[in-house]
Amino acid sequence: MKTDSILAAAALSLLASGCTLGPDFVRPASPTQAYAPLVPSPAPTRSFTAGGEVAADWYTLFHSAALDQLVHAALEGNPSLAAARHGLLAAQYELKAVSGSQLPQIDATGQVGRAHINGSFLYAPTNTIDATGNRFELGPQLAYNIDLFGGTRRLIESQQAATAVARDQALNTYVTLVDQTVITAFDYAATQAQIEVTQALEDELQSQFELTRTLENGGKITRNDTLQARAQLENLRATLPPLQQQRDTYRNALAQLCGTTPELFAPPALSLRDFTLPAQLPVSLPSALVRQRPDVLAAEDELHQASATIGVAEAARLPSLGISAQYAQQTSTLNDLFTRPGGIWSVGVNATAPLFHGGTLAARQHEAEERYQQSLATYHATVIGAFVEVANALQALQHDADSYAAHGQALTAARDDRDLALAQYRAGKYTELQVLTAEQQYQQAALTQVQADVQRFTDTAALFRALGGGWWNAPHDPAALVAVSGGNSGEKHD
């Protein structure tokens, strides 16, 4: 008897550790060549570190307390980030639920009823036994899927990958939120700077217009010169409302990012002059980039999920084994419950095998294989897109430096030309038209200089975003993971 028990246990263990169908997931190889030749050359005020670490709080490198305040407010109040974190927790609980299907399932059953039997019920002549009575039944029952071909194991693996995708999506929401907040703050400050430049130019043109009227009254210039000065002033004033609307749009966008309404949002004092460009910028290696960017990680985990689904589909085409057992106390009176004569039990092995399903199971397997190929292509496209984004950011920073220097020289030249034209005009050597032309050139140079300035900040932020946002260096997990396995004292396990 003891030998039989040992053999039965060994056979059960062999069945339980059966093969696992489907391909074992292998992480795609990391590329080594991507964007290294595009790293800008070092400059007196900026350099790049190949393989440098990306700080989680990279936005603090701009040395703006107002910007830091905005980012913290967005991380605390943004509802999209909260939704992504709750989605991750839901996926964790789903994983826990799916993992539980690998263990024996035990349920309590009970029944209270009244029944009538006769002889035919026991294959005896009718009315040989004729009885009516109560029936009480209470006891546990067990069901266990042996998972001979690993269908359940692959299903759990698939859900693990799906949970990882949910985490990647939460991280991507976090990284995108920080980037959008920083860039929107830059745009808000730049628009405010453009408004200030335009208002300063308006004051100058107002003074110029008043001087023109004075000269006209003195007979030194014609009425046409005065009208041209006024037209220039009014044209400049007409550019203010669109700029103010643009500023308000950025302000409302910051309110939305921070999770509040425009009416309740009070932006901190943001000024383009308060931002400082980081002097040292990191450039991650391509092999590290694919481990850092949440979108690439999500594409990889989706590929893993598709791989596991193939095993689930293959196992569905093969036989399945299960064990079921039941014990119950069954009596006609409550007083006899839990007595030996009232106990019944059963145990057995269940086997099912698909014979004909109209080609459905084969089609499901082929579908899973094609979904895997689709996910593999998507993964490669995502990696290439990540490399392109980093390359664009690096090239933009190189062009920004050249553009900013050129615009600075253009602004200096336009300012000198305007001052000279105004002096010559007051000396009676220049006409009103020449002064207005110089004013227009200076106005355009001043506004484009602001745009060139903010573009450097925006493209720097874009580089940090392209490198993955540094979430892996945060002191706490940005996805705000909460352990599900431990639960709490009031959690009910079933």
Cα dihedral value 187, 191, 197, 201, nearest 10: 150
**Whole-prediction pTM:** 0.84
Whether residues 112 and 223 fall in one domain = no
> What's the rounded Cα separation, in Å, for the pair 463 and 48?
11
Which domain does 325 fall in, by range? Answer: 105-146+319-353
Residue 306: pLDDT band by 50, 70, 90 thresholds?
very high
pLDDT digits (tens, 9 = 90+) for 75-123: 999 999 999 999 999 999 999 999 998 889 988 888 888 877 766 555 6
Domain final position from 337, 353, 369 = 353
pLDDT at residue 107, as a whole number? 87
How confident is the model over 21-47, as a mean pLDDT?
A: 84
Q: Does the pLDDT at position 475 exceed 70? A: yes
Whether residues 457 and 469 fall in one domain = yes
pLDDT at residue 490, as a whole number? 41
pLDDT digits (tens, 9 = 90+) for 127-174: 666 777 777 788 889 888 898 898 899 999 999 999 999 999 999 999
Domain assignment present for residue 478? The answer is: no
Domain assignment present for residue 485? The answer is: no
Whether residues 154 and 216 fall in one domain = yes
Q: Does the pLDDT at position 256 exceed 90? A: yes
Whether residues 277 and 349 fall in one domain = no
> What's the rounded Cα separation, in Å, for the pair 469 and 171?
9
pLDDT at residue 187, as a whole number? 95
pLDDT digits (tens, 9 = 90+) for 378-387: 999 999 999 9
Whether residues 335 and 461 fall in one domain = no
**CATH code of the domain covering residue 113:** 2.20.200.10
pLDDT at residue 175, as a whole number? 97
Q: What are the CA-CA distances from residue 147 to residues 102, 348, 377 (Å)?
A: 8, 16, 31
Domain assignment present for residue 489? The answer is: no
Whether residues 94 and 109 fall in one domain = no
How confident is the model over 427-439, as a mean pLDDT?
A: 75
Domain assignment present for residue 2? The answer is: no
Euclidean distance between the first and the last CA atom of the chain, given in angstroms as a whole number = 35
How confident is the model over 410-437, as a mean pLDDT?
A: 81
- Report residue 201 as tokens: 């130019």
> What's the rounded Cα separation, in Å, for the pair 191 and 249?
10
Residue 4: pLDDT band by 50, 70, 90 thresholds?
very low
Domain assignment present for residue 9? The answer is: no
Domain assignment present for residue 21? The answer is: yes
Chain-centre distance for alpha carbon 469: 11
| Share above pLDDT 90 across residues of the chain, in percent, rounded to a whole number | 50
**CATH code of the domain covering residue 376:** 1.20.1600.10
For the ranges 15-29, 231-245, 276-290, 457-471, the lowest mean pLDDT is seen at 15-29
Whether residues 330 and 449 fall in one domain = no
Number of domains in the chain: 2
How confident is the model over 422-435, as a mean pLDDT?
A: 78
How confident is the model over 43-54, as a mean pLDDT?
A: 87
How confident is the model over 363-382, as a mean pLDDT?
A: 96
Whether residues 405 and 364 fall in one domain = yes
Whether residues 179 and 204 fall in one domain = yes
How confident is the model over 171-187, as a mean pLDDT?
A: 96
pLDDT at residue 481, as a whole number? 55
Domain assignment present for residue 31? The answer is: yes
- Do the Cβ atoms of 471 and 291 come closer than 8 Å? no
- Report residue 400 as tokens: 């920004």
Domain assignment present for residue 493? The answer is: no
SS (H, E, C) the chain: CHHHHHHHHHHHHHHHCCCCCCCCCCCCCCCCCCCHHHCCCCECCEEEEECCCCCCCHHHHHCCHHHHHHHHHHHHHCHHHHHHHHHHHHHHHHHHHHHHCCCCEEEEEEEEEEEEECHHHHCCCCCCCCEEEEEEEEEEEEEEECCCCCHHHHHHHHHHHHHHHHHHHHHHHHHHHHHHHHHHHHHHHHHHHHHHHHHHHHHHHHHHHHHHHHHHHCCCCCHHHHHHHHHHHHHHHHCHHHHHHHHHHHHHHHHHHCCCCCCCCCCCCCCHHHCCCCCEEEECCHHHHHHHCHHHHHHHHHHHHHHHHHHHHHHCCCCEEEEEEEEEEEECCHHHCCCHHHEEEEEEEEEECCCCCCCHHHHHHHHHHHHHHHHHHHHHHHHHHHHHHHHHHHHHHHHHHHHHHHHHHHHHHHHHHHHHHHHHHHCCCCCHHHHHHHHHHHHHHHHHHHHHHHHHHHHHHHHHHHCCCCHHHCCCCCCCCCCCCCCCCCCCCC
Whether residues 450 and 367 fall in one domain = yes
Whether residues 134 and 276 fall in one domain = no
Whether residues 246 and 125 fall in one domain = no
pLDDT at residue 487, as a whole number? 40
